[in-house]
């Protein structure tokens, strides 16, 4: 009997130990899981069971769930040259639902490595991806009819195909800023996660005390009259100070009225009185949104800044590529931002308030627009 009792007590103890051990083992797993999840979060990524959710490092945009990726067949040794027959999107995948990597201008030479189902895998500079076979050819497309040569003393010629009758040309003028800035945010470009203030109120003349938004509207109104006298159709994004129109909305307005070009009028300011001169900002060829507008915008910019500085005698600070301006990145037409001069330079600030100088400024800008269109 005693032996049996001892055996039973022993059995109970053994079972109790086994259960305790099992309980502990069961508890361990979720803890380990939690630690693993923690590590994944620290690495900035998280794996889910079906792999459909991709969380990227901070700063990168989160992409929509994508269909299975097609791996391209690439052999650059046997690649052949092809040319775009229109302005053409380069895509990440061989379909139109995916991301557009860039847009090539008509007549761009591409290296084609392979083709399948109507899509070619191509390379151009730093870019690789797919283009639709419908819009490429084995020969360079012929140039569009050239305009009649115009006698011109300008150092910069209008780009081919730009010779136009002013009566058929729509110019949008965007006098920068407005009476009161609006610091609420808008995307810096289509699809961008970078947010910038909708519109700021601009700078103020150090000697004149005149705010930039007043100077640029005054010049823009004079320029509108001058361009209309030359036959152009002109629309303005604003004609008073009491408005609230963001930089994105200004760019969209230009497209909505069928603008051929958008000229945005601003004035500069810097923390140093001696700095002077005029600058013009245009999208660069590497702009993530409007690289296809870079060449035309640069031509527009060069023609305007050269004519403007000829007419005013202001220092020519040249054409500057800029890809951070919301009003440039949202543009759908060639665009240039003219910085008239430095309001932080007392001499230039006062000069820009002078009636005779304002007339020179306006004539200079209008001459540059004429030259851009080959007139």
Applying CB under 5 A, the residues found at the interface with Zn ion are 176, 202, 266
Minimum distance between the CB of residue 269 and Zn ion, rounded to whole angstroms? 8
132 vs 201, beta carbon nearer Zn ion: 201
Three-class HEC string of 261-307: EEEEEEEECCCCCCCCCEEEEECCCCCCCCHHHHHHHHHHHHHHHHH
CA angle, 131 then 136 then 140, to 5°: 140
Is 176 or 334 the residue whose CB approaches Zn ion more closely?
Answer: 176
Give the helix, strand, coil percentages of the chain, each rounded to 5. 35, 25, 45
Q: Closest distance between Zn ion and the C-beta of residue 266, in Å?
A: 3
The CB-of-275 to Zn ion minimum distance in angstroms stands at 15
Other Cβ atoms within 10 Å of 268 Cβ, number: 20
| CB 202 to Zn ion: min, Å | 5
Shortest gap between Cβ of 350 and Zn ion (angstroms)? 19
DSSP 213: H
CB of 305 to Zn ion, least distance (A): 16
Instruction: Indicate the DSSP class of residue 241.
Output: S
CB-nearest residue to Zn ion: 266
The DSSP secondary structure of 295-352, one letter per residue, reads: HHHHHHHHHHHHHHHHHH---EEEEEE----HHHHT-SS-EEEEEEEETTSHHHHHHT
Nearer to Zn ion, 266 or 371 (CB): 266
| Minimum separation from the CB atom of position 247 to Zn ion (A) | 10
Q: Is 330 exposed, middle or buried (0-12, 13-18, 19+ CB in 10 A)?
A: buried
Of residues 176 and 301, the one with the C-beta less far from Zn ion: 176
Three-state DSSP at 25 gives helix
Q: Which is nearer to Zn ion, 269 or 307 (CB)?
A: 269
- Shortest distance, position 342 Cβ to Zn ion, whole Å: 11
3-state secondary structure of 166: helix
Shortest Cβ 339–Zn ion spacing (Å): 7
C-alpha–C-alpha distance, residues 198 and 201, integer Å = 10
Compare residues 158 and 265 and give the one whose CB is closer to Zn ion. 265
Residue 232 tokens, joined: 């152009």
Nearer to Zn ion, 159 or 215 (CB): 215
Contact 312, 364 (CB under 8 A): yes
Angle 348-271-208 from CA coordinates, rounded to 5°: 35
Q: Which is nearer to Zn ion, 254 or 325 (CB)?
A: 325
Decide whether 166 or 181 has the Cβ nearer to Zn ion: 181
Residue labelled with tokens 């693993």: 36
Q: Name the token pair of 10.
A: 């022993």
């Amino acid at each position: 009997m005693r032996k049996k009792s001892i055996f039973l007590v022993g059995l109970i103890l053994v079972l109790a130990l086994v259960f305790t051990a099992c309980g502990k083992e069961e508890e361990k797993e979720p803890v380990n899981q939690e630690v693993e999840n923690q590590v994944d979060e620290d690495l900035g990524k998280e794996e889910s069971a079906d792999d459909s959710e991709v969380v990227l490092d901070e700063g990168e945009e989160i992409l929509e769930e994508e269909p299975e990726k097609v791996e391209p067949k690439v052999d650059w040794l046997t690649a052949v040259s092809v040319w775009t027959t229109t302005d053409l999107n380069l895509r990440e995948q061989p379909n139109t639902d995916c991301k557009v990597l860039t847009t090539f201008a008509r007549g761009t030479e591409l290296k084609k490595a392979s083709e399948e189902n109507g899509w070619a895998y191509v390379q151009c500079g730093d870019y690789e991806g797919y283009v639709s076979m419908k819009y490429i050819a084995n020969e360079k497309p012929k140039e569009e009819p050239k305009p009649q040569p115009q006698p011109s003393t300008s150092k910069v010629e209008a780009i081919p195909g730009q010779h136009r009758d002013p009566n058929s040309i729509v110019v949008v003028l965007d006098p920068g800023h407005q009476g009161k800035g609006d610091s609420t945010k808008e995307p810096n470009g289509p699809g961008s996660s970078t947010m910038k203030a909708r519109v700021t109120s601009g700078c103020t003349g150090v000697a004149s005390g005149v705010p930039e938004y007043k100077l640029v509207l005054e010049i823009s109104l004079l320029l509108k009259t001058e361009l209309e006298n030359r036959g152009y159709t002109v629309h303005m994004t604003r004609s008073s100070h009491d408005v609230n129109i963001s930089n994105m909305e200004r760019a969209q307005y230009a497209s909505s009225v069928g603008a051929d070009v958008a000229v945005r009028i601003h004035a500069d300011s810097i923390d140093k009185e001696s700095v002077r001169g005029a600058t013009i900002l245009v999208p660069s060829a590497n702009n993530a949104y409007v690289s296809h507008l870079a060449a035309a915008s640069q031509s527009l910019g060069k023609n305007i800044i050269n004519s403007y500085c000829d007419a005013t005698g202001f220092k020519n600070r040249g054409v500057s590529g800029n890809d951070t301006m919301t009003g440039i990145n949202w543009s759908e037409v060639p665009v240039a931002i003219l910085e008239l001069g430095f309001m932080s330079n007392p001499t230039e600030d006062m000069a820009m308030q002078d009636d005779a100088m304002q007339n020179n400024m306006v004539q200079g800008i209008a001459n540059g627009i004429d030259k851009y269109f080959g007139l």
